[in-house]
Amino acid sequence: MSIFKGSGVALVTPMKENGEIDYQVLETLIEDQIAGHTDAFIICGTTGEAPTLEDDEHLEAIRRAVEIVNGRVPVIAGTGSNNTAHAVMMSREAEKLGADAVLLVTPYYNKSTQDGLYAHYRTIAASTGLPCILYNVPSRTGTNLQPATMARLARDTENIQAIKEASGSISQVAELAATPEFQEGFFDIYSGNDDQIVPICSLGGIGVISVLANVAPRQAHDIVDLYLKGDVEASRALQLRAFELCKALFCEVNPIPVKAGLTMQGYGVGAPRLPLISMSEAGRARLKKAMEDFGVL
């Protein structure tokens, strides 16, 4: 059974002016996302600024999200690390807090061989009963989880159930979808790039883990929902209409633009934590136009 189908929002972590997490705004964001038909929440991922969250506030954000969502849709906790032992600890804690699944990024900076990735993920998965979504984003981590390694992990590990594929390579996704393990239903594929939702769905994907959904939850949901219901033309048209906004949301390092976009929409999400800074004026002007053109501002 799939963890979710549709659009899972990679939710920002709202911050007060003093840099603390603003849980009141977090609740507002979650309620508005649910009203916008978001199908799942990814808490404390890259877009949620996990690298600059202390463990106690990281876990408190997961706890609060689980409490607010209250079972209405799945809550997926970002618990990945380049330290296997730390990822084990965070995954166990997320399970205790009631998360429905964990998202596990490939090890960054120290990186790994493919056999090392296999051992890393097997160790984390063995530490928790939660479903695991592996997250492949080589542009950020310097490590590419190869299709054969993902297929091997999914076949050998019952709770490794999906991958968020953000390599940017449709050929790699096609290679992944062509594996016997995917064909036999051992794992699901989610797009990790908002501008590739339809192409990845066309290869058998069932959804997206989305930055776009922060500012356009209904539209991100609809791109997937329309496709899965067979209205490929309407899904394709919406995907293409969102193209410039998807690009604008990554014209500076994520989550700089999406926090700026939410601020434009009236949400008090604050600025990113250093070493990220607020969006440039040129970037802000580009994003504002793209949001206006897409009808979300």
CA-to-CA dists, residue 124 to 144, 161, 183, angstroms? 18, 13, 25
Evaluate the CA torsion angle 187, 190, 196, 201 in order and state its sign: positive
The domain segmentation of the chain, as residue ranges, is 6-231
Mean pLDDT for 75-94 is: 98
Evaluate the CA torsion angle 259, 99, 124, 57 in order and state its sign: positive
Q: pTM, whole model, 2 decimals?
A: 0.96
Q: What Rg, from alpha-carbon coordinates, does the chain have?
A: 18
Q: Which two tokens stand for residue 141?
A: 């981590």
pLDDT tens by residue, 11-39: 999 999 999 999 999 999 999 999 999 99
- The pLDDT of residue 1 is 84
What topology is assigned to 6-231 in CATH? TIM Barrel (3.20.20)
Catalytic residue among 118, 121, 135, 190: 135
Mean pLDDT for 78-92 is: 98
The average confidence (pLDDT) of the chain is 98
Q: Is 164 a catalytic residue?
A: yes
pLDDT tens by residue, 143-181: 999 999 999 999 999 999 999 999 999 999 999 999 999
- The pLDDT of residue 104 is 98
Q: What's the DSSP call for residue 203? A: T
Catalytic residue among 118, 164, 227, 259: 164
> DSSP string spanning 236-268?
HHHHHHTHHHHHHTTSSSTTHHHHHHHHHTT--
Q: Is 247 a catalytic residue?
A: no
- The pLDDT of residue 222 is 98
